[in-house]
Amino acid sequence: PSFGPFPIFTDKSVSSVIISPNNSDKIWVSFDGFSTVGQKLFYSSDGGATFSDAYSDYLPNSPINCMLYQPDSDDGIYIGTDEGVYYKDNSLSEWTCFNNSFPCNIVTDLSLNTCAGIIRAATYGAAMWESPMVKNVAHEISGNVVWDTDRIIEHDIVITPNSTLTINNGAH
| Position 68 pLDDT exceeds 90 | yes
Q: Are 140 and 122 in contact (CB under 8 A)?
A: no
User: What is the pTM assigned to this prediction?
Assistant: 0.74
Rounded (5°) CA angle 132-158-74: 50
pLDDT tens digits along 12-38: 788 899 999 888 999 999 888 887 667
**Rounded-to-integer distance, Cα 28 and Cα 53, Å:** 10
